[in-house]
Amino acid sequence: MHSSDRALTAPSAPTARTATPDGAPAPAASAVDVSGMRRHYSAAGLVEADLAAHPMDQFAHWLAEATAAGLDEPNAMVVSTADADGQPSARTVLLKGYDRRGFVFYSNYGSRKGDELAANPRVALLFPWHQIARQVTVVGRAERVPRPETEGYFHSRPHGSQLGAWASEQSRPVASREELERRYAELAVLHPEGEEVPVPPYWGGYRVVPSAVEFWQGRENRLHDRLRYRAEAGGWAVQRLQP
């Protein structure tokens, strides 16, 4: 935060409490009432005749429209994984490549998501394009991209991001922010701007190969359009789902 910025604080929650049916005190009311928050969608609908034959072609079309609409980071997606015991977790990452083979993102293989994908490669993706009343959800299987593909992308990143991949043992505890910044400073001396930074052996890409892709379009009266592609032998079948 810049020195001219002022910290924003949420209003204090009401302290008055009521009793629950069993006589126990009810939790204090939240500061923001979310029960009435909603948008009334009025966008044009999505019909089967307008869909591309392949879901990745349809995704490319929608991503282009999301980008043209001026959305912030339209390539941001929520990646949901689960560990070997089925415990779920989710985080937002950036899509860094896509074609008919699937969706590509990059990570530390030793991160929480990396550990979970090693134990259970089944994964879900969500592209939440709220501003245009659209979302895309993907179910599939994650696999590591070939090393040359990882190296090509890594060397296209800004120098600072390359150093950051070395400095951070992603998802592992660290004693302090200063410790993280000290590691980065040491790496900046070791690999100054203009010199090639080697690719960390524990860092690379994942490709999510989809088995189902759903395109959701907000409509009036919550009668949204939901069209889902499902992989079948020799191609893709499209099914309309009720909202």
DSSP 190-208: HS-TTSPPPPPTTEEEEEE
- As given in the structure block, the two tokens for residue 243 are 């909202």
C-alpha span between 150 and 167 (Å, rounded): 18
Identify the CA nearest to 121 among candidates 97, 146, 106, 139: 139
Domains in the chain: ranges and CATH: 48-155+201-241 (2.30.110.10), 157-198 (no CATH)
pTM greater than the 0.75 cutoff: yes
| pLDDT interval class at 14 (50, 70, 90) | very low
The pLDDT > 70 percentage for the chain reads 84
H/E element, 74: none
Q: Return the minimum-mean-pLDDT range out of 36-40, 135-139, 210-214.
A: 36-40
Residues annotated as catalytic (active site), given as ranges: 222
C-alpha span between 191 and 178 (Å, rounded): 20
Helix (H, G, I), strand (E, B) or coil at 163: helix
Can you give the pLDDT at residue 178?
86
For residues 213 and 138, the answer to whether their CB atoms sit within 8 Å is yes
DSSP class of residue 28 equals P
DSSP class of residue 1 equals -
